[in-house]
Amino acid sequence: MPEKKRGIGLQRSLGLYSALSLVVGTIIGSGIFFKQASILSNAHSTTNAIWAWIIGGIITLTGGLTIAEVGSMYPETGGLYVYIEKMYGKFWGFLAGWVQIAVYGPALIASLGAYLAILLVAFFGLPQTWTVPIAILSLFLISVFNLLSNRFGASLQIFTTICKMVPIFLIIIFGLLFGNEHAFGQVISGATTSSIGGFGMAVLATLFAYDGWILIANLGGEIKNPQKILPTAIILGTSLVLIIYVLLTMGIFSAMSANQITKLGEQAAPHFAIMMFGPIGGKILNLGIIISIIGTINGKIMSFPRIMFAMAQANELPFSKQLSWLHPKMHSPMVATFTMFVFSSILILFADADRLSEICIFSIYCFYLIAFIGVFKLRRLYPDINRPFKTPLYPLTPIIAVLGAVFVMASEIQADLIGVIISLVFVLIGAPIYFYKVNK
C-alpha cells in the first residue's frame, strides 16, 4: 500500500541549525587541511592562493544563491533531481538522480569511508589489513544511525560540525596571532609569475573543496518552513565556509613559509599542529579530521538515499516499492539507506572509489549547469509564480554561476578527456532503465 495512503511520510523536523550544520559539515571534509600545498603550487604565491579560495567561494556562493531560488519554489525531497525534472521534464530529472544514486553518491561515500579507515588505523596503530573492514564497518554504523529518525542524524551532524571547528579555529587563531610569516606576498622559490592556467587550476581545486553545498536540497521534504530555511541554510552555510577557508589558509600561510608548505605537501597542516602544540597537537588535529570526515559521511548518507527514495516514490527505479518504504515509527527511508550502504561497500571492495568520484565530477557539473540555466527558463515561463526567495543581482548572479560551471567542465575535458567520456557513459546507462520503467 502506498506510504501516503497509510499516513506515513518523511518528517519535517529539521530546523535552521540542523540544515546549516548539514551544509557546512558536508562541505568541510579533509580537503581544506591537505590541499593547501597543491593550490599554492599552482597559484605560485600566497596572495594568488588566497585569491583562488576567495574566487572559488564566490563562484560557489553564486551557485547557492541561484539554486536557493529554485529550492524555495520546489521544497521537495530529491533536490537537484526534482529541480531538473521541473525545468526539463522527467527524463532529464531521472538522469540527474540516476548518476547521483548509482555512481557518484556511492563513490563519494566509499572514498570517504576508505580515507576515514586509513586515518583510524594510523591513529590507533592498527594493522593495515584492518583498513577495508574498518571502512565498511564505519559506513555500516553511520548508516544504521541514519535508520533512526532524521533528528538523530541531524544531531550527529551538529555535533561533528562543532567538533571539526575546534582544530580549524586553533589553526586560524594561533597562525594569525603567533605566526612569523606574512600571509600575503610570499612567492615560491624558482616560480615565475603565476600563469592564467596555473591560477585557473588553483581555483578549480578550491571549487572541489567547496562542493557538497547542494546536498541539503535533497532533504527539502524534511525541513521545517523550507521556503525560508532552505535558501537561508545554503547562503549562510556557503558564506561561512568561504570565510573559514580563507582565514584558515591565511593562518597556515602566516605560520609557515610558502616554500616550506609546498615542500611538506599534504603534511603541511599536521606539521603546523605539531609545530604549534607539540606531538599532542598533531593528535588533536588528526582527531579533528577524523570527526570532520565522520560528519561529512553522515551528511552524505542522510542526503543521497533521499534521492533514491524520491525516485522510487515516482516509480522510476527497479524495486521502487521496496526502495520507497518508510519505517512507520522512524519515518526514515530504511531500504534506500541500506541500499546506498551496500553500493558503497561494493565499491570499497572492488573498485577505485576515488577515481569514480573524480570521473563523475563532470556529469554532476553538467546538471549544475543546466540547473543554473533553468533559472532563466523558469523566470521566462512563470514570471508570476510565487518565489519565496529571489536570486539577488539577477541576472548577474546566475551568469557567474553558469560561467563557473562551464569553467569546471572545460577544465575537466582538458585534463581528463577519458574520464569525461566514462562519466557520460555512466549517465547514458540510465536511459534504458528509464525507458524500461516508462514502457512497463
- Residue 362, pLDDT > 80, answer yes
pLDDT band at 328 (very low <50, low <70, confident <90, very high): confident
- Residue 98, pLDDT > 50, answer yes
**Cα 274 from chain centroid?**
29
pLDDT band at 8 (very low <50, low <70, confident <90, very high): low
The predicted pLDDT at position 298 comes to 92
The predicted pLDDT at position 68 comes to 92
Q: Is residue 51 a contact partner of residue 264, using CB atoms and an 8 Å limit?
A: no
Give the predicted TM-score (pTM) of the model: 0.88
For residue 146, the surrounding DSSP H or E stretch is none
pLDDT band at 10 (very low <50, low <70, confident <90, very high): low
Per-residue pLDDT reduced to its tens digit, 157-166: 889 888 888 8
| Cα 12 to Cα 171: distance, rounded to the nearest angstrom | 37
| Cα 75 to Cα 57: distance, rounded to the nearest angstrom | 24
Per-residue pLDDT reduced to its tens digit, 247-279: 999 998 988 888 888 888 777 777 777 777 777
Is the peptide bond prior to 395 cis by the omega test (within 30 degrees of 0)? yes
- Residue 128, pLDDT > 90, answer no
- Helix, strand, coil % (nearest 5) of the chain? 80, 0, 20
pLDDT band at 180 (very low <50, low <70, confident <90, very high): confident
| Cα 388 to Cα 68: distance, rounded to the nearest angstrom | 10
Mean pLDDT of the chain: 87
Task: Tell me which residue has cell 603550487.
Answer: 41
Q: Is residue 206 a contact partner of residue 53, using CB atoms and an 8 Å limit?
A: yes
Find the mean pLDDT for residues 137-150.
90
Domains of the chain: 16-439 (1.20.1740.10)
The predicted pLDDT at position 179 comes to 77
Name the least confident of 31-35, 75-79, 295-299, 349-353. Answer: 31-35
